[in-house]
A = this chain, B = another copy of it.
Amino acid sequence: MPYFDAASSLPPHPVAREALLAALDDGWADPGRLHRAGRRARMLLDAARETAAEAVGCRPDELTFTSSGTRALHTGIVGALAGRARAGRHLLVSAVEHSAVLHAADVHRNAGGTVAEIGVDRAGRVAPDDVAAALAAGPGPAALVCVQSANHEVGTRQPVVEIAEVCRAAGVPLLVDAAQSLPWEPVGGDWSVLTGSAHKWGGPGGVGLLVVRKGVRFAPPGPVDERESGRAPGFENIPAIVAAAASLRAVRQEAAAEAARLRELVDRIRARVPELVPDVEVVGDQEHRLPGIVTFSCLYVDGEALLHALDRGGFAVSSGSSCTSSTLTPSHVLRAMGVLSEGNVRVSLPPGTPAEEVERFLAVLPGTVAAVRDQLSPPPPVTVPAADGDALTVDSLGKLCPVPVIELARAIGQVRVGGVITVLSDDTAARLDIPAWCAMRGHEYLGESPVDVGPGTAYRVRRSA
């Protein structure tokens, strides 16, 4: 069954599997012990650190193995903030960071720190000038800036080298979450802290990377011990670490050729999906993007239903952010980009994906979307025409995404060109999807206001054609 959810997790690379097996025999002892078994474990750990550091482009003593990429982010952010506590308590994060960054930012805010989000354009890209402006805006001097190297939901790459220059000029450290790009290449530029996650490149679960450049002030949070430079307490999982380092080296050897190949496959999806499926928006940066990720959203479709239908059809994809797939709120990444969230599908191709699988996906997708759209036929919307026939109110209160947009689409024909539709909705996705629908269909979005009584929002749309 084609697995197109590589950005979430990859099956173990053959090299990871081999290295893991080999290291099970020699890497189980405590590397802090002075006996032979301990020394053997220590040697494996040291060698893995050398290998990983070479792939990252750092000194081995700058690199710590953590128990996950999430843990690396939490420790990296809290540690860098604590190291800069005297300089200030203001944290800057891009609005499209991984939820682990946003969770760490929440903790910082709850502890009395301040946090500002740096916005992105419709392609999901952070502008270096916006970073400079946010650094200048305060309140007070910033302690840390967090910008990912590439986005996990839409694949957009960030201009990390330029952003690092801006941060360096301001004397503020930059933390780069490199989870998605590290399998492809080192992160350039003068960053201060960097994180990664092994299962994103075909390494085992349970291994993250935290790199803190020499000279960066850093105070690890919480209880620590003598392991991993005091930055990752607890017994090291050496077989998994060895497998992580070996597989990173292996995927890097294949990276350039595989990136070119996947990029072509993704180009094909980006071009064909809008031709094959009506009312689709492909999102993310056309040029600055990861090789294997493409994300699109389909009007009048429930993303989770489409995901289940594709799963039944033999394709494993994801919808929106991994961290919001089980919630009712739209992905914070799509929200920050201001693009359609309904019917959202992320296709992320693992290295080695055959072109035929992509063709088969393109063959299956149109019928699957159509079937999901057919299933979702809510009763006709409850509409209240205004006296002059030029305005109509659609009551979608209590209805979940994508129903409000479907009801809007059905009702628009009931007013004449120039007339105004007001949609009442208490679903959070409507705030994103109604303006996105207007942009896609060429109608004019007039804005929102609270409903007169009870919770909910009134969204106003002027029919343009």
| CB proximity of A396 to chain B, nearest CB, Å | 26
Which residue in chain B gives the minimum CB-CB distance to A67? B67
Interface residue? A225 (CB, 8 A): yes
Question: Does A361 make an interface contact (CB < 8 A)?
Answer: no
Contacts of A67 in B (CB 8 A): 67-68, 71, 206, 234, 237
Residue A34 interfacial (CB < 8 Å): yes
Residues of B within 8 A of A325 (CB): 32-34
Say whether B69 contacts A307, CB under 8 Å: no
The answer to whether A235 touches B70 (Cβ under 8 A) is yes
Q: How many angstroms from the CA of A67 to the CA of B227 in the assembled complex?
A: 14
Among A23-31, A265-273, A380-388, A406-414, the stretch that binds chain B is A23-31
Which residues from 235 to 274 on chain A have a C-beta closer than 8 Å to any C-beta of chain B? 235-240
Please tell me if the beta carbons of B29 and A8 are within 8 angstroms of each other in the complex: yes
Identify the stretch in A101-109, A122-130, A418-426 within 8 Å (CB) of chain B at 4 or more residues: A101-109
* Partner pick for A28 among B9, B68, B223, CB 8 A cutoff: B9
Number of this chain's copies in the complex: 2
A204 contacts B237, C-beta separation under 8 Å: yes
A463 at the interface (CB under 8 A from B): no
From residue A63, how far is it (CB to closest CB) to chain B in Å?
18
Pick from B37, B74, B304: contact of A3, CB under 8 Å: B37
Is A35 a contact of B307 with CB atoms below 8 Å? yes
When distances are taken between beta carbons in the complex, the residues of chain B under 8 Å from A103 are 223-225, 233
How many residues of chain A get a CB closer than 8 Å to chain B's CBs? 68
| CB-CB nearest in chain B for A1 | B36
Contact B29–A107 (Cβ < 8 Å)? no
Q: A83 on the interface (CB 8 Å rule)?
A: no
- B239 lies within 8 A of A205 (CB): yes
| A8-B33, A35-B316 known; A238+B323 contact, CB < 8 A | no
Contact B69 A205 (CB under 8 A): no
Question: Which of A1, A5, A221 counts the most B-chain CB atoms under 10 A from its CB?
Answer: A5
Question: Could you list 8 A-B pairs, sorted by A, with CB under 8 Å?
Answer: A3-B37, A8-B33, A33-B316, A67-B71, A74-B223, A74-B233, A103-B223, A206-B206
